Amino acid sequence: MSRYIPGLTAPAQTDMPVLLSPPAPPHKTGTLNFSQWLAAIPLWVPVLVLAAALVWPMYSYAQSVTPTHDSPLEVLWRWIPFLLTRGFVFTVIISVLTMALGTVLGVFLGLGQVSLFRPVRIASYWITQTFRNSPWLVLLFIVMLSFPFQITLFGVTIPVPDWAKAVFGLSLPIMANISEIVRGAIASVPSAQWEAAESLAFTRRQTLFEIILPQCIKRMIPPWMNWYAILTMATPIVSILGVEEILNLTRQAIEAENNRPELLVPFYGFVLMVFFLYCYPIARLTIRLERKFALKL
């Protein structure tokens, strides 16, 4: 004779056999303050800034005592190809190389923070906190002044350009922040995943690389993109150290035009618009991916 089990072998005695807990808010692996702020800017704001940048040089040109000069807009139009191909493209290259190097180092450092070997865990933690809380410009100066101008290996002299030093200097804070993203993503995986892997006799390496990290990738993408946008906006600080990126070349272009004051607003306004047009889509995509990949417990 079969057992009487309500809901399984017999009709349920209540219309609410299971009481579920209320849904938890979506989990976030990190803050996206910069991307949220940038994505929240209305489109009319950059349009207004661009209009002001166009009106100002015409007003300054009308007040100029040397009307024989070309107008500021004509001068800017003449320099735009140079600023984009030699300046902004190089800026993007520096940011991409920095992000790639910082990501590789940050992944290893983040894994070190969850290591079972206590000395590795402590060392990784303090390296992360040191570079996360250090000014970027100070790190750049230390790298620029510490690294040699050239390295000689087996009789071969290899020059070390300033842009390579800038990439390494900027990669240090990026490394530390990526390390925190990796550590936070691993910590956000429910403990049941670890327990299930242990019950199936998975080793820690198998559990980490075959079960935990694949789940972390989607969680790490939005904050990773957020930091890339921040890095791109911070890359012009390398111009202080003589690296010829867009800000440095813009200053050289103005000097080549005899430092005419009416050129300041259109030239630097153009640089502002270029960075905005590059980073704004990244910020919008970051917010979209953060909503798509949000973990709902």
Transcribe 108-163 into DSSP letters. Answer: HHHHHHT-SSHHHHHHHHHHHHHHHTS-HHHHHHHHHHHS-SEEEETTEEEE--HH
Query: What is the torsion angle, in degrees rounded to the nearest 10, for the CA atoms of residue 269, residue 274, residue 279 and residue 282?
Result: 150
In a domain, 271, yes or no: yes
Q: Which residues contact 240 (CB under 8 A, 6 or more apart)?
A: 137, 140
Q: 223: exposed, middle or buried (C-beta count within 10 Å: 0-12, 13-18, 19+)?
A: buried
Q: Is residue 7 part of a domain?
A: no
CA-wise closest residue to 128 among 168, 167, 169, 177 = 177
With respect to residue 234, please indicate whether it lies within any of the assigned structural domains.
yes
Within 10 Å of residue 157's Cβ, how many Cβ atoms?
8
Asked whether residue 26 is assigned to any structural domain, the reply reads no
**pLDDT in 10s for each residue of the chain, 297 residues:** 445 544 444 554 555 444 444 444 444 444 556 556 566 666 656 666 666 555 555 555 444 444 556 788 888 899 999 999 888 999 999 999 999 999 999 999 999 999 888 999 999 999 999 999 999 989 998 988 888 787 777 778 888 888 888 999 999 999 999 999 999 989 888 888 888 888 888 888 888 888 888 888 888 888 888 899 899 988 888 888 888 888 889 998 998 888 888 888 889 989 988 998 888 888 888 888 777 766 554
Residue 60 lies in a domain: no
CA 108, CA 123: separation in Å to the nearest integer? Answer: 12
Instruction: Flag whether 139 is in a domain.
Output: yes
Residue 262 lies in a domain: yes
pTM for the full model? Answer: 0.74
- Number of folded domains that form the chain: 1
Specify if 94 maps to a domain. Answer: yes
Tell me what pLDDT residue 17 has: 47
- pLDDT at position 131: 94
Q: How far apart are CA 213 and CA 186, in angstroms?
A: 7
Residue 31 Cα to chain centre, angstroms: 12
- CATH number of the domain bearing residue 208: 1.10.3720.10
Give the pLDDT confidence score for residue 150 in this predicted structure: 78
Residue 177 neighbours by CB under 8 Å, 6+ apart: 102, 106, 132, 227
Q: Which pLDDT value is given to residue 176?
A: 94
Distance, in Å, from the CA atom of 56 to the CA atom of 119, rounded to the nearest integer, reads 60
* d(C-alpha 113, C-alpha 208), whole Å: 13
Q: Which domain holds residue 248?
A: 33-49+72-292
